[in-house]
């Protein structure tokens, strides 16, 4: 892997009011880059705008509004001329057993985490093709490779966007566009504060869902991930060629993903004979 010399870049980042989006915006502006930041409430970035002026381009955006997304992306490229890196970051978590979840909760999460991310990527691709290059960082999670009980819909969105990216990366590689999927483990951001929870039911009280619910309530769910280190690694990844396909962040993420992949591979090997026997006999 070759390291590219750092240069001033222009970034487009969704979900910049807090968490990874906010930290990325702060770091990039501090190092001299330009940032097109989208946020539901632009006043959340007022302090940064006062400090950095024209290097911070701000737009109000709800990523579930596809037409607004396309208009915002088009305007950002028009106003800034060129955008080097897209960070698809907007999203949140939903906790509850699958049958505890409400229909609206399911619909809202899929519209934000999955469809919103897909439509952002679709909106930027024509512009990146035209300029002949671009890097897209898709913020996923360790939950795009493994699964906790109680997060079925969250995992559905993360596994879904990772599948989308795996396919899309092959489609657009000839145009100089590359993807990196970012998979943090439990991290000290405001993810927990934004977590939406289903109404608990007695049915799941003495199940793994109930155990995890109590661990959250009692502060026993350990969170060691350092978001500042992760943000620096995301920025550094853009200086690598070829682009890393995935970035796994945190000891917990490494352990959980490694365990899940090894178990899946072992299961695949266990049914190798039956798999190979399913073709037509010659």
Q: Which domains are present in the chain?
A: 7-251 (3.40.50.720)
Which of 88, 92, 117, 154 is labelled catalytic? Answer: 154
Residue 190 scores a pLDDT above 70: no
Residue 251 scores a pLDDT above 90: yes
Query: What distances in angstroms separate CA 123 from CA 9, 14, 115, 157, one per listed residue?
Result: 20, 13, 12, 19
Q: Over the stretch 95-133, which tens digit does the pLDDT of each residue have?
A: 999 999 999 999 999 999 999 999 999 999 999 999 999
> Is 154 marked active-site?
yes
Mean pLDDT taken over the chain = 94
Which of 140, 141, 152, 256 is labelled catalytic? Answer: 140
User: Looking at residue 11, what is its pLDDT?
Assistant: 98
Residue 143 scores a pLDDT above 50: yes
For the chain, the farthest-separated pair of C-alpha atoms sits apart, in whole angstroms, at 72
> Is 141 marked active-site?
no
Signed CA dihedral, 59, 63, 68, 74: sign only = positive
Q: How confident is the model at residue 3 (pLDDT cuts 50, 70, 90)?
A: low
Residue 1 scores a pLDDT above 70: no
User: Looking at residue 223, what is its pLDDT?
Assistant: 75
Higher-pLDDT residue of 31, 225: 31
Sequence-distant (6+) residues with CB within 8 A of 156 are 110, 114
Higher-pLDDT residue of 4, 200: 200
Least Cα distance to 17 among 76, 72, 91 occurs for 91
Q: For 147-151, what is the mean pLDDT?
A: 96
Give the predicted TM-score (pTM) of the model. Answer: 0.93
User: Looking at residue 5, what is its pLDDT?
Assistant: 47
> Is 140 marked active-site?
yes
Distance from C-alpha of 164 to C-alpha of 161, rounded to nearest angstrom: 5
Q: Over the stretch 16-60, which tens digit does the pLDDT of each residue have?
A: 999 999 999 999 999 999 999 999 999 999 999 999 999 999 999
Percent of the chain scored above 70 by pLDDT?
A: 97
Which of 17, 52, 92, 158 is labelled catalytic? Answer: 158
User: Looking at residue 80, what is its pLDDT?
Assistant: 97
- Pairing of the two strands 240-241 and 196-197: unpaired
């Amino acid at each position: 892997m070759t390291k590219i010399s750092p240069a001033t870049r222009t970034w487009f980042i969704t979900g910049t009011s807090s968490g990874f989006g906010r930290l990325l915006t702060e770091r990039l502006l501090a190092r001299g880059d330009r940032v097109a930041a989208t946020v539901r409430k632009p006043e959340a970035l007022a302090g940064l705008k006062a400090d950095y002026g024209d290097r911070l381009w701000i737009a109000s955006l709800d990523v579930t509004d596809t037409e607004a997304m396309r208009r915002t992306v088009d305007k950002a490229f028009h106003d800034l001329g060129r955008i080097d890196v897209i960070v698809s970051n907007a999203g949140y978590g939903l906790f509850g057993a699958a049958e505890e979840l409400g229909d609206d909760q399911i619909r809202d999460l899929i519209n934000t985490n999955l469809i919103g991310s897909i439509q952002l990527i679709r909106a930027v691709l024509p512009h990146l093709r035209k300029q002949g290059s671009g890097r897209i960082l898709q913020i996923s999670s360790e939950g795009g490779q493994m699964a906790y009980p109680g997060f079925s819909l969250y995992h559905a969105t993360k596994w879904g966007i990772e599948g989308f990216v795996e396919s899309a990366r092959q489609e657009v590689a000839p145009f100089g566009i590359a993807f990196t999927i970012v998979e943090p483990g439990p991290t000290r951001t405001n993810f927990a504060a934004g977590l939406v929870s289903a109404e608990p039911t007695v049915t799941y009280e003495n199940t793994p869902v109930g155990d995890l619910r109590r661990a959250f309530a009692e502060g026993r769910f350990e969170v060691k991930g350092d978001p500042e280190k992760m943000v620096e690694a995301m920025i550094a990844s853009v200086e690598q060629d070829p682009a890393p396909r995935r970035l796994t962040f945190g000891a917990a993420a490494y352990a959980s993903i490694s365990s899940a992949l090894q178990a899946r591979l072992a299961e695949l090997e266990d049914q190798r004979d039956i798999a190979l026997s399913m073709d037509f006999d010659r």
